[in-house]
Amino acid sequence: MRTEFIVSDEVFYITTAIYYVNDVPHIGNASEAIAADVVARYERARGRKVIFGTGTDENAIKVAEVAASSGISPQQYVDSMVPVWSDTWRAMHIQCDDWVRTTEPRHRRVVEAAFSKMLENGDIYKDLYKGWYCVSDETFFRESEVVDGLCPNPECRKAVRWVEEENYFFRLSAYQDRLLEYIEANPGFLAPEFRKNEVVSFIKAGLRDACITRKAYGWGIPVPGDPDQVIYVWFDALLNYLTIAGYLSDERKFAETWPADVQLVGKDIFVRFHSTLWPAMLMSLGVELPRLIHGHGFWTVEGGKMGKSLGNAIAPVKVSEDLAAMSGADFDVAVDAIRYFLLREVSFGLDGDFSTSGLIGRFNSDLANDLGNLLNRTLPLLHRHRDGVVPTPSPDDHDSRAVSVMIPATAAEVARRLDQLQFSDALAAIWGLVGRANKYMEEQAPWRLANEESSAKLDTVLYTVLETVRSIAIMIRPFMPTVSEVIWKQLGIEKPLADQTWADASTWGGLKPGTKTGAPEPIFPRIDTKRKPIEPAPTPAPKEEKKVEQISFDEFKRLDLRIGKIVTADRVPGADKLLQLTVDMGTETRPVVAGIAQWYAAEDLVGREIVVVANLAPAVIRGVESRGMLLAADENGTAILIQPDKEVPPGSAVR
């Protein structure tokens, strides 16, 4: 375990992935940044110098395409999108120290220098690229990887494009053995273990040299000395981690900051990019590898994949506003509750599901009942019987000591869990202490002791609980910075919370007798679950109207449109807009979920013929499987089903 308090020149450097700005942030992206923020805040509380770096990945083809479809220049487009991300992060209490934009000159210089260095050392060469490219994932794929003309990444599955260009390549294959040796010799380099195993299998399957440029398309960093080519967005983006650390611009900063201590990324970009291409690039540059790269899981929503196109992406600020409106809590408290939920609900590294009922459950039980109540029932007693002034406890009270001994043990356990990025377990440890203090309250029943106004026992019980809350406030601060401040204010402690170190959390007696506490106010008002729950917040619509994109006949041919006959139709429980259909497709009957319940009664649909997109990737919508989508005209927001002119056999193709 790391020591409690560290004073050194070495910077604790933590990074997240940098964000594609062709889209707006959702809770999946936010959960990664919140995790990094918690670690950064915790390390600062332990006295470390911290650099928490994040930023925006702006030189992507998809960014140029969205800008073009909006009729503005890519630069105007990215300039308008960066504040959308940075403002969201600020609202979510994510406090980063640097925000790199890959269009900045400081980053461009690093990318150009790195490219030139690798060209000089022979790791970059020119050749013909023939293969597929997925614009959505900004990834090159070989023929054998592409499935039915679609991106093989299960999170993407969009159509890939054929590319045949004279490009530059990075000699990734030359690093295959060195990468495997490094991973073997440094067991802590990649986590979690099961994802590390995926990396090893991926590398062992054989690494091909990586295409690292594209024919210039008017956006991106040009290849030094060859302006007909631009540098591939991933080669460019990965280097952001060096830019922030001061590589080639600030020798001293770089020496203090690099290697990065923790790099957090999602599972979709862990294997191919962060655990393979990135370390190989660093090896080629002769730069030390990061200490830890961690690949976390993905968030789904109400059991289904989350995506803008699916219309269910949860916007972090909107869901915080909804939670505040539902509960009556302050917005900043609701933000902290979302932070708590995202890190408590799943074991970091695994996939998690965001559901309104799950969120309300955690809010009511962990926050309102457990933590909120601990303070809510103690402070009013203190005000009623001791004028709100912290009393002096009896020394050597056996029952009080049973609680106080838990505090250093809990602080150590939380530290141990945070060192291993086990956020949920760290919170569970803190809540173990919350639970113990609540149990102590019930055992001691201070409301009964209150009859004997001078009771030393009452003094001890009130002190013990409030002193435990003081320690809890310090421990939850990395997770819930506003809530901890509110608690601190109610405790009335003069010394600012910001000056408290992690060691202060584990030392008994920080709350001084005689302290005048603040007014008791419930922080987490319970949510009345009988009221209508919030619906997942839709992602805000893009600002500009999109131009209609043209597709080729070949692209159209990839759609498998067929006639289906509805055999059964039922409402999806708990979803106002959804119907669950079974559709006869000629050769099989398949489930299709359709968002038409507002306009069609289930019983009117049975026996009708409809047009189905038969080769749409299966999805789970509100827990119900859907294999296909029906077509309907959109008349000012009302769905009108498309039906064949006369009855045709189910399964007939529509061309």
Return residues touching ligand MSP (CB under 6 A): 17-20, 28-29, 31-32, 57, 237-238, 240, 265-266, 268-269, 298-299, 306
29 vs 580 by CB, closer to ligand MSP: 29
Contact 279, 182 (CB under 8 A): yes
Contact 275, 283 (CB under 8 A): no
Question: Closest approach of Cβ 404 to ligand MSP, in Å?
Answer: 39
237 vs 390 by CB, closer to ligand MSP: 237
Question: Closest approach of Cβ 161 to ligand MSP, in Å?
Answer: 19
265 vs 612 by CB, closer to ligand MSP: 265
242 vs 566 by CB, closer to ligand MSP: 242
Q: Which helix (H) or strand (E) holds 301?
A: strand 299-301
Contact 203, 66 (CB under 8 A): no
Which residues have a Cβ under 8 Å from the Cβ of 309 and sit 6 or more positions away? none
Question: Closest approach of Cβ 109 to ligand MSP, in Å?
Answer: 17
What is the spatial distance between Cα 295 and Cα 108, in angstroms, rounded to a whole number?
27
Question: Closest approach of Cβ 393 to ligand MSP, in Å?
Answer: 46
Question: Closest approach of Cβ 39 to ligand MSP, in Å?
Answer: 15
Give the β-pairing of 213-215 and 589-594: unpaired
Which residues have a Cβ under 8 Å from the Cβ of 42 and sit 6 or more positions away? 415, 418, 478, 502
Question: Closest approach of Cβ 32 to ligand MSP, in Å?
Answer: 5
What is the spatial distance between Cα 218 and Cα 621, in angstroms, rounded to a whole number?
39
Contact 610, 628 (CB under 8 A): no
Question: Closest approach of Cβ 44 to ligand MSP, in Å?
Answer: 23
Give SS3 for 568. strand
What is the spatial distance between Cα 175 and Cα 161, in angstroms, rounded to a whole number?
28
Which residue is listed with tokens 């640097």?
Answer: 98
* Tokens representing residue 352 in the block: 């998690």
Q: What residue ranges in 201-282 does DSSP mark as E strands? A: 210-211, 213-215, 222-223, 226-231, 262-266
30 vs 379 by CB, closer to ligand MSP: 30
What is the spatial distance between Cα 513 and Cα 389, in angstroms, rounded to a whole number?
8
* Tokens representing residue 175 in the block: 């690093």
Length of the chain in residues, anyone? 655
261 vs 268 by CB, closer to ligand MSP: 268
32 vs 397 by CB, closer to ligand MSP: 32
29 vs 500 by CB, closer to ligand MSP: 29
270 vs 463 by CB, closer to ligand MSP: 270
37 vs 459 by CB, closer to ligand MSP: 37
50 vs 237 by CB, closer to ligand MSP: 237
Question: Closest approach of Cβ 56 to ligand MSP, in Å?
Answer: 8
Q: What phi and psi values does residue 545 have, to the nearest 5 degrees? A: -65, 130
26 vs 562 by CB, closer to ligand MSP: 26
59 vs 327 by CB, closer to ligand MSP: 59
* Tokens representing residue 159 in the block: 């159509």
Q: What phi and psi values does residue 16 have, to the nearest 5 degrees? A: -115, 170
Question: Closest approach of Cβ 235 to ligand MSP, in Å?
Answer: 10
Question: Closest approach of Cβ 55 to ligand MSP, in Å?
Answer: 9
343 vs 390 by CB, closer to ligand MSP: 343
Question: Closest approach of Cβ 638 to ligand MSP, in Å?
Answer: 31
What count of Cα atoms within 13 Å lies in the side-chain half-sphere of residue 413? 16
Question: Closest approach of Cβ 607 to ligand MSP, in Å?
Answer: 39
What is the spatial distance between Cα 422 and Cα 437, in angstroms, rounded to a whole number?
23
**DSSP class of 259:** S
Q: How far is CA 399 from CA 207, 381, 396, 440, 582, in A?
A: 63, 19, 9, 8, 63
48 vs 272 by CB, closer to ligand MSP: 272
Q: At what angle do helices 27-45 and 316-327 cross, to 10 degrees?
A: 80
Question: Closest approach of Cβ 462 to ligand MSP, in Å?
Answer: 43
31 vs 422 by CB, closer to ligand MSP: 31
Which residues have a Cβ under 8 Å from the Cβ of 61 and sit 6 or more positions away? 135, 138, 214, 217, 219, 220, 233
In the beta sheet, which residues pair with residue 161? 133
What is the spatial distance between Cα 476 and Cα 41, in angstroms, rounded to a whole number?
10
Question: Closest approach of Cβ 15 to ligand MSP, in Å?
Answer: 8
CB burial of residue 126 (10 Å; 0-12, 13-18, 19+): middle
Question: Closest approach of Cβ 313 to ligand MSP, in Å?
Answer: 8
Contact 233, 74 (CB under 8 A): no
- Exposure string (b/e) for 481-510, b if CB count within 10 Å is 16 or more? bbbbbbbbebbbbeeebeebebbbbbebeb
Question: Closest approach of Cβ 156 to ligand MSP, in Å?
Answer: 10
